[in-house]
Amino acid sequence: MNVAIHPNYVDCVVRCACGHTFKTRSVKSEITVDICSACHPFFTGKQKLVDTAGRIEKFQRRYNATKLGSQKKSKKA
Q: Contact 19/39 with Cβ under 8 angstroms?
A: no
- By the rule CB under 5 A, 14 interacts with Zn ion: no
Cβ contacts of residue 68 below 8 Å, gap of 6+? none
- By the rule CB under 5 A, 36 interacts with Zn ion: yes
- By the rule CB under 5 A, 13 interacts with Zn ion: no
- By the rule CB under 5 A, 15 interacts with Zn ion: no
Shortest spacing between CB 16 and Zn ion, in angstroms: 3
* Residue from 34, 65, 62 nearest 48 by CA: 34
Nearer to Zn ion among residue 12 and residue 36 (C-beta): 36
- Candidates 12-20, 41-49, 53-61, 62-70; binding stretch for Zn ion (CB under 5 A): 12-20
